[in-house]
Chains A and B, each alone.
Chain A
Amino acid sequence: MKMLINVPDSVVADALRGMAAAHPELVVDVENRVVVRRDAPVEGKVGLVSGGGSGHEPLHGGFVGAGMLDAACPGEVFTSPVPDQMVRAAAAVDSGAGVLFVVKNYTGDVLNFRMAAELAEDEGVQVATVVVNDDVAVTDSLHTAGRRGTGATLFVEKIAGAAAAEGAPLDRVAGLARQVVESARSFGVALSSCTTPAKGGPMFDLPAGELELGVGIHGEPGRERRAMMTAGEIADYAVDAVLADLRPRQPVLLLVNGMGGTPLLELYGFSAEVHRVLGERGVPVARTLVGNYVTSLDMAGCSVTLCQVDEELLRLWDAPVRTPALRWGC
């Protein structure tokens, strides 16, 4: 497997150095692995901090900037960051109004952010935490780790980020973030395995003629394997899986997300099929975002995330945002 890297050990550091060179509006601390908007802390504003394993770019570093995250903590590839990174990030973005941690529901992320919240509070930073768990491919029960956090993370970070930019207090920003979590569900599909730099080969074995339905963003298996399907058939399956869990009574935000190895030509074609299915099911789409936003290295495949929105959430979604990967209205 050929990869555009130097050595596997320096992949994350090298990427951060490149990010620093490309985005002078960000302060990229390569050694401590923290990405912070240059104008942080913003006076009177709640700080938004997220993070997780690397390999999901542009999540989360690509979403740092005005109207979204104040800081991101990248971990090793597919491995949670450590509490020191989060404490550093929280201290850098706290203006006294408190900090919201946006955490995807993986055991490592949850435990490290929980420890970081305690440490940051010891240092006088008020911290609230929201855990994103939108993946309907995984059952949620008292006896499991619960649903995984995937595409809905982008909706949470954008909408909570907009509320924070408007000056909403910490409990309001956290409340909106939780509302988005409760309103959003996702389903992912893999057409190929991803390749971790350390391993240098496919992470799992997926025969050429098959696809994995319900895959996670770390290549975790999903619900089932089937012979390869058309974009239309995949859209039917994915949308129905989401709608079986989320029964929207309001218009939805739609994210058609690429896993990193699928071209936009295919993603737009797939998006057309998702629109067709949602139309057939009577679900109005308020806004659509198509692209590679929550990726899994070089995995071919896609995910569908729906988030039902009221007027307030839609207004916050439309609010200006200026980050490396998401930018509109300013």
Chain B
Amino acid sequence: MAEAAASVDREAARLTELDSAIGDADHGSNLQRGFAAVVKTLEAEPPGTPGAVLTTAGRQLISTVGGASGPLYGTLLRRTGKELGDADGVTVGELRAALRAGVDAVAQLGGSAPGDATMLDALDPAVEALATSFRAAAEAAGQGAEATVPLQARKGRASYLGERSIGHQDPGATSSALLFTALAAVADEGEAA
């Protein structure tokens, strides 16, 4: 596993691009605003450890994104960062365990579970598949996001649609899949380098 510090930095820039490409009414622009602030903060004061990068990024997302995605993504990164502690480097296994704690914290905060058509439908299988590889995790997240299409949304604003939410891919699961795709891309670069 390459230094997470650099990876999150590059991941943030990539995500900004990817999210604006989706053009989802405000999920995209909100995340774009948040990750732009993350990059700015990390560049201004680069944290010393992978854990610190994630906690700093998470706090920044909570402070700038708003909506539900701010606290949820902020909690994901903050909790994952806290689990990593102040180690200088992390193994894939350590990252996976930390992400598991982060995803559990998201589930607790949002009061949701896989199957509710939320970001958990991408995050949960991705963390499981990380046992195999970053590439497998990204693919699992993408499949998880696609699997929200036939589901009825039970959480967030989409839940007000009731049965009418069936047939739509959840934006939160989609952006979560983008996150793991970016992570995998950076991990590949790290291995190649």
- A residues with a Cβ closer than 8 A to B are 53, 75-84, 106-108, 111-112, 114-115, 138-139, 143-145, 148, 196, 198-199, 203, 216, 218, 220-221
Residues of A with C-beta under 8 A to B67: 75, 79-80, 108
- In the complex, what distance in Å separates the CA atom of A36 from the CA atom of B70? 24
Task: Tally inter-chain residue pairs, CB-CB below 8 A.
Answer: 81
User: Can you name 16 extra interface pairs (CB under 8 A) apart from A75-B67, A82-B63, A82-B70?
Assistant: A77-B26, A79-B67, A107-B110, A108-B66, A108-B68, A111-B68, A112-B66, A114-B71, A138-B160, A145-B159, A145-B160, A148-B160, A196-B25, A199-B25, A218-B157, A220-B157
Shortest distance between the CB of A33 and any CB in chain B (Å): 10
B154 part of interface (Cβ distance < 8 Å): yes
Residues of B with C-beta under 8 A to A76: 26, 30, 66
* Complex contact A80–B68 (CB within 8 A): yes
Q: 17 A-B pairs, CB-CB below 8 angstroms?
A: A76-B26, A80-B70, A82-B65, A82-B70, A106-B68, A107-B68, A107-B156, A108-B68, A108-B69, A108-B70, A111-B71, A196-B25, A198-B26, A198-B29, A199-B25, A220-B160, A221-B164
Residues of B with C-beta under 8 A to A145: 154-157, 159-160
- B residues with a Cβ closer than 8 A to A are 25-26, 29-30, 62-72, 109-110, 154-157, 159-162, 164
Across the interface, A107 reaches (CB within 8 A) one of B26, B29, B63, B157, namely B157
Shortest distance between the CB of B84 and any CB in chain A (Å): 21
Residues of A with C-beta under 8 A to B64: 82
Shortest distance between the CB of A111 and any CB in chain B (Å): 4
Shortest distance between the CB of A223 and any CB in chain B (Å): 9
- Which of B69, B159, B162 is most buried by chain A, counting CB atoms within 10 A of its CB? B159
- In the complex, what distance in Å separates the CA atom of A81 from the CA atom of B155? 19
A107-B162 in contact given A82-B70, A112-B66, A112-B71 (Cβ < 8 Å): no
Residues of B with C-beta under 8 A to A78: 26
- In the complex, what distance in Å separates the CA atom of A81 from the CA atom of B62? 10
- In the complex, what distance in Å separates the CA atom of A325 from the CA atom of B26? 28
The 10 closest A-B pairs by CB, nearest first: A108-B67, A111-B71, A108-B68, A107-B68, A79-B66, A145-B159, A107-B156, A79-B67, A220-B160, A144-B159
- Which of A79, A143, A196 is most buried by chain B, counting CB atoms within 10 A of its CB? A79
A80-B25 in contact given A144-B154, A220-B160 (Cβ < 8 Å): no
Shortest distance between the CB of B172 and any CB in chain A (Å): 10
Shortest distance between the CB of A89 and any CB in chain B (Å): 15
- In the complex, what distance in Å separates the CA atom of A163 from the CA atom of B159? 35
Residues of B with C-beta under 8 A to A84: 63
* Complex contact A111–B26 (CB within 8 A): no
Residues of B with C-beta under 8 A to A83: 62-63, 71
Residues of B with C-beta under 8 A to A82: 62-66, 70
Residues of B with C-beta under 8 A to A75: 66-67
Residues of B with C-beta under 8 A to A108: 66-71
Shortest distance between the CB of B171 and any CB in chain A (Å): 13
- In the complex, what distance in Å separates the CA atom of A216 from the CA atom of B159? 12
Residues of B with C-beta under 8 A to A79: 26, 30, 66-67
- In the complex, what distance in Å separates the CA atom of A47 from the CA atom of B64? 25
* Complex contact B160–A81 (CB within 8 A): no
Residues of B with C-beta under 8 A to A144: 154-155, 159
* Complex contact B110–A221 (CB within 8 A): no
A198-B71 in contact given A148-B160, A220-B160, A221-B161 (Cβ < 8 Å): no
Shortest distance between the CB of A147 and any CB in chain B (Å): 9
* Complex contact A80–B66 (CB within 8 A): yes
* Complex contact B160–A107 (CB within 8 A): no
Residues of A with C-beta under 8 A to B72: 111
Residues of B with C-beta under 8 A to A139: 162
- In the complex, what distance in Å separates the CA atom of A78 from the CA atom of B66? 10
- In the complex, what distance in Å separates the CA atom of A34 from the CA atom of B51? 32
Closest to A76 in B: B66
Shortest distance between the CB of B121 and any CB in chain A (Å): 15
* Complex contact A111–B110 (CB within 8 A): yes
* Complex contact B62–A107 (CB within 8 A): no
A115-B30 in contact given A80-B66, A144-B159, A218-B157 (Cβ < 8 Å): no
Shortest distance between the CB of B63 and any CB in chain A (Å): 5
* Complex contact B160–A112 (CB within 8 A): no
Closest to A138 in B: B160
Shortest distance between the CB of A250 and any CB in chain B (Å): 30
- In the complex, what distance in Å separates the CA atom of A143 from the CA atom of B154? 6
Residues of B with C-beta under 8 A to A107: 68, 110, 155-157
